[in-house]
Amino acid sequence: MPLVIAISVIVALLGFVFYALAHERGPSAPDVAIGYERAWDELNFGLLWDLSGPELRDGMRRDQFIAAKRHAYASAEHRGRLAERIEVDTFVEGHQSALVVTQVTAEGSTVRNDVLLERRANGWTVVGYSLRPTGASSPRGASADAGAPAHSDDGA
């Protein structure tokens, strides 16, 4: 009898674990956008590839992408983390897509970036990334400051 009770408890716990895992939503769109910004800040090209959709991978496999980005940034002086603060300015989320406006503060300057995401089979994926124009306002009425370094996926 104790064996039957122990097995029943184990089966119930396993059932609960499988139910919880099946209903786990994963990271939110703002969480993925912050991770993407941090990956750029740390020049973590492996994580950039993982968070990016094919639209941002330049048609390359993971190893090719990492090698190309390392080569492109080899001459850049990497001082470790450059950003003092990375945060979400605002975001709009639909059923299958989201736009997250991030605010990156580095060396006293602030820039805002538009991070476009789509919900895919494995969760939120970054499909577009660009510097928010200087005059563009967010719902809070803030605008981006010029002069801070920003990352671009234009050919690098």
Model pLDDT for residues 65-94, shown as the tens digit of each residue: 999 999 988 877 666 667 889 999 999 999
In terms of pLDDT, which residue wins out, 139 or 17?
Answer: 17
Tens digit of each residue's pLDDT (9 = 90 or more) over 23-40: 667 889 999 999 999 999
**Is the CB of residue 133 less than 8 Å from the CB of residue 37?**
no
pLDDT attached to residue 149: 37
Q: Give the model's confidence band at 150: pLDDT under 50 very low, under 70 low, under 90 confident, else very high.
A: very low
| φ, ψ (nearest 5 deg) of residue 35 | -60, -40
Delimit the domains of the chain by residue range. 28-131
Coil/strand/helix, residue 99: strand
pLDDT at 46: 96
User: Which helix (H) or strand (E) is 22 found in, with range?
Assistant: helix 2-22
- CATH class held by domain 28-131: alpha beta
* Residue 87 pLDDT: 93
* Span 43-50, average pLDDT: 94
| C-alpha to C-alpha distance for 93 and 99, rounded to whole angstroms | 6
Q: What is the pLDDT of residues 90-144, one digit of tens each?
A: 999 998 999 999 999 988 889 999 999 999 987 999 999 999 877 666 544 433 3
At 120, the amino acid letter reads R
Contact 139, 90 (CB under 8 A): yes
Under DSSP, the state recorded for 88 is: E
Residues facing residue 115 across a β-bridge: 100, 129
Residue-level pLDDT at 23: 65
Q: Are 51 and 125 in contact (CB under 8 A)?
A: yes
Q: How confident is the model at residue 6 (pLDDT cuts 50, 70, 90)?
A: confident
H helix intervals, 23-144: 29-41, 45-51, 62-72
pLDDT value, residue 146: 34
What spatial distance separates the first Cα and last Cα of the chain, rounded to whole Å?
66
